[in-house]
Amino acid sequence: MDSPLLQVTDLTMRFGGLTAVNALSFEARRGEITSVIGPNGAGKTTVFNCITGFYRPTSGGIALTHPDGAVFQLQTLPGHRIARRARVARTFQNIRLFAGMTVLENLLVAQHNALMPNVASGLLAVFGLGGHGAAEVIAIDRARGWLDRINLLPRADDPAGALPYGDQRRLEIARAMCTAPVLLCLDEPAAGLNPRESDALAELLKTIQADGCSVLLIEHDMGVVMRISDHIVVLDHGQRISDGDPAHVRADPNVIAAYLGEGDEDDPDVPLAAASDGPLAAAS
Amino acid sequence: MNPILKDAGISALVALGLFGPMIGLKTEASATGLFLVPRPLALAAAVAAVFFGRLVLLTWRGRRPGRYRANRGLSEALKRSGRFLTPVLLAFAVVLPFISGRYGIDLGILVLTYVMLGWGLNIVVGLAGLLDLGYVAFYAVGAYSFALLSQTFGLGFWTCLPLAGLFAATWGVMLGFPVLRLRGDYLAIVTLAFGEIIRIVLLNATSITGGPNGIAGIPRPTLFGLQFSAAGGPDTFSGFFGLEYSPTQRVAFLYYVILGLALLTNWVTLRLRRVALGRAWEALREDEIACRSLGINVTVTKLTAFAIGAAFGGFAGAFFATRNAFISPESFTFIESAIVLAIVVLGGLGSQLGTALAAIVMIGGFEVFRDLAEYRMLLFGTALVLIMILRPRGLVSGRTPSVALGRRREISAELVAEGRG
Ligand SMILES: Nc1ncnc2c1ncn2[C@@H]1O[C@H](COP(=O)(O)OP(=O)(O)OP(=O)(O)O)[C@@H](O)[C@H]1O
Ligand SMILES: [Mg+2]
């Protein structure tokens, strides 16, 4: 395919006097895992919020091209349309599950539009009409498949809020995948996971990629990023400071400077600074 | 200082301030005018009662003041008994007209009207998590729709019932469009204002609604065309079945109409909870942002909750009009919204059984203690405070999952969000 899946052009986002994202351009290619990294406050989450319609960018364009050639200008669409029509799914830096609903229910809510294409069909469903029953059987099957993949099938009927942290992270990814996206945006999915869980997460992302869904990943865990990324974009102060494959980014003096410039050695949020022989060595 | 002592001391001070003028001073009329008689002993007794009462309460709870947790044991007991309680209540509701007199049936009608309103509002507040303080507006729209339609076009109750619901739902959507951008307290205030606006319009549009004089002569419902009247003849209920006419027949019929309407509300709500729309409402109550990220149109989903809740308010309003045969804006004041909301909150947000129990306790209790005259309010207030202390999430808290692979297990109230608009 020639056109990239996601093309961000001159994206700028200002909050009052603060420019969180400054004339940022990058692209994410189809079938790849593209990572967005950068120090705290670099503007990564803000980029995600612009892509998924939670913020309206101050200026710039975000174009998403489907495999069938349809192009969506995401900066003009409201959030729920981006998820439904442009088929971009996301997770959140602070987990946003429906805590009081069961694991299974969480995955069914994600398939809302398949179960209820419009209000009329939603109302007909009350009287058992409009094919809701059949649609729900399919939806439950799909949910079951995902629960099996993330090893949560035995906990399907437990409230999502009662799951351990790592399980919640994986459930949020499964929930996003239940919307059948072409692009999955993950905001720090490995945050708070132990090394074993991080490995499992990396595996999961690889299988999602193998299934044909492209991934846009924000992550501070360089082990995960360097292992699974096809392409890395580095942000600092809202600007792109490096862009390329893992080997290129790891060697880029700009990146090393940005991470070291972040400050003190004992800042736990900067995982690279603690490595003994250079900031990005831990990943190799 | 011991925090319990301190807390009790503060409570006593507050009591002193409150009771000072209310109990400490008494007015006595005499030939020369009104005298203020101080009553220090009564005041001291009241303050001491508050002090020691608070002391005992806090010691008994054995917790630091201000930290109340949802009482789970009781909740689960109620939940489990719900399996037996529901059929028992239902059976009782069905046979009530046969075992009770006119007064009992009238009380039953009153309670069931509030049960229905509670279930209707529960859709908006309990499921979708939208705090609506103006629910009475839809009740009024339903009542006036029926009254005006029957006066102008001579339509009967059964024709107007769906129309009343439709009109109320339309108003729900019209209110919802501008208002649902607001959240939490702001939504509550605007819906409250909307309720008042409807009432004031009804009061002032004299040429259409009759203003404060209201509308009288609203037709009674018929049973498949049979009327309930003393006239006899083949088109009356008593004449057709060859029974002796008694006004109780009409009241009993009204009772079954509202019972049917309330059960319809309940059935629709229970069904809605099990399909995509109801699940989306609950998801909205849990986390609106996550809903948006999953492609759910938040505005449309909220509007449907508003409209469906309003439609049931409209049905109840039409019933109210036909039962009383007379309506005026006075019946649709804010206090009605407040009572219905209190029923929903007291019952436990989202719980059908809880709402029904709360309506029985509140409306029934209020009637039963009629003899207590003005002390009724005091008792009522105390009861509400007690319930909210013991069961801050309502009588029946917790949530039953809408779907399960295995057995449905209750979700404890601590995990379930209440919604912020
Ligand atoms: N809604 C907002 N209003 C005002 N400022 C904001 C808003 N959202 C983000 N910012 C600011 O924009 C800058 C970038 O924030 P952002 O959350 O995108 O960083 P990040 O790269 O995701 O950082 P982290 O790694 O800590 O998650 C920060 O200075 C932040 O304070
Ligand atoms: Mg972030």
d(CA A10, CA A26): 9
E-strand ranges in B124-264 read: 215-216
The domain boundary, picked from A180, A200, A226, lies at: A180
The domain boundary, picked from B334, B356, B377, lies at: B334
* CATH number of the domain within which A267 lies: 3.40.50.300
Q: What is the mean pLDDT of residues B290-305?
A: 93
Contact between chains at A96 and B293 (C-beta distance less than 8 A): yes
DSSP B330: G
Query: Does a structural domain hold residue A122?
Result: yes
Beta carbon of A250 within 6 Å of any ligand 1 atom: no
d(CA B416, CA B392): 13
State phi, psi for A273 to the nearest 5 degrees.
Answer: -60, -25
d(CA B26, CA B388): 32
Q: What is the 3-state secondary structure (H, E, C) of A130-177?
A: CCHHHHHHHHHHHHHHHHHHCCCHHHCCCEHHHCCHHHHHHHHHHHHH
> Of the ranges A72-81, A253-262, B181-190, B266-275, which one carries the lowest mean pLDDT score?
A253-262
Q: Could you list the mean pLDDT of each consecutive 10-residue stretch along chain A, which spans 284 residues?
A: 85 93 93 93 94 94 92 91 93 94 95 90 86 90 94 93 93 95 95 91 94 94 92 93 91 84 47 42 41
Query: Does residue B168 share a domain with residue B57?
Result: no
**ipTM surpassing 0.90:** no
* Residues shown for chain A: 284
Nearest neighbour of A79 by CB, restricted to B293, B407, B416: B293
Model pLDDT for residues B35-48, shown as the tens digit of each residue: 888 888 889 999 99
Model pLDDT for residues B389-406, shown as the tens digit of each residue: 777 777 777 788 888 888
pLDDT for B170 equals 94
| Contact of B219 with B227, CB cutoff 8 Å | no
Contact between chains at A105 and B277 (C-beta distance less than 8 A): no
**Domain range spanning residue B308?**
105-334
d(CA A121, CA A127): 10
d(CA B267, CA B273): 10
Residue bearing the bigger pLDDT, B178 or B314: B314
d(CA A249, CA A234): 8
Beta carbon of A271 within 6 Å of any ligand 1 atom: no
Query: Does residue B109 share a domain with residue B58?
Result: no
Strand partners, A183: A88, A214
Ligand showing the shortest atom-to-Cα distance for residue A42: 1
Nearest neighbour of B403 by CB, restricted to A79, A96, A108: A108
Give B-chain residues touching A130 at CB under 8 angstroms.
none
Query: Does a structural domain hold residue B157?
Result: yes
Query: Does residue B11 share a domain with residue B130?
Result: no
Give B-chain residues touching A110 at CB under 8 angstroms.
294
**Could you tell me which of B382, B410, B381, B407 has the C-alpha nearest to residue B397?**
B410
Q: Which residue from A minimizes the CA distance to B308?
A: A123
Tokens of B87: 């059929």
Q: How many domains does chain B have?
A: 2
Model pLDDT for residues B198-250, shown as the tens digit of each residue: 999 999 988 888 888 888 877 777 777 667 666 666 666 666 666 666 777 78
**Domain range spanning residue A242?**
1-87+181-284
Query: Does residue B324 share a domain with residue B227?
Result: yes
Give A-chain residues touching B294 at CB under 8 angstroms.
83, 89, 109-110, 112, 175-176, 179
Query: Does a structural domain hold residue B74?
Result: no
> Does the pLDDT at position B67 exceed 60?
no
> Does the pLDDT at position B124 exceed 80?
yes
Which residues, 6+ apart, have CB-to-CB distance to A242 below 8 Å?
A: A232, A233, A234, A248, A249, A252, A254, A255
Query: Does a structural domain hold residue B373?
Result: no
Query: Does residue B148 share a domain with residue B34?
Result: no
Q: What is the mean pLDDT of residues B259-278?
A: 93
Distances (CA, A) of B76 to B25, B174, B273, B397, B409: 47, 40, 21, 9, 11
Model pLDDT for residues B1-27, shown as the tens digit of each residue: 688 888 889 999 999 998 888 888 888
Query: Does a structural domain hold residue A283?
Result: yes
What's the pTM? 0.84
Query: Does a structural domain hold residue B30?
Result: yes
The domain boundary, picked from B34, B63, B92, lies at: B63
Query: Does a structural domain hold residue B367?
Result: no
Residue bearing the bigger pLDDT, B369 or A20: A20
**Could you tell me which of B322, B339, B390, B338 has the C-alpha nearest to residue B155?**
B322
**Could you tell me which of B394, B355, B417 has the C-alpha nearest to residue B129?**
B417
pLDDT for A263 equals 47
Q: How many domains does chain A have?
A: 2
Cβ atoms within 10 Å of B406's Cβ, excluding its own: 9
Q: What is the mean pLDDT of residues B307-332?
A: 92
| Contact of B306 with B131, CB cutoff 8 Å | no
> Does the pLDDT at position B302 exceed 70?
yes
- Strands A183-187 and A214-218, by their bridges, are parallel
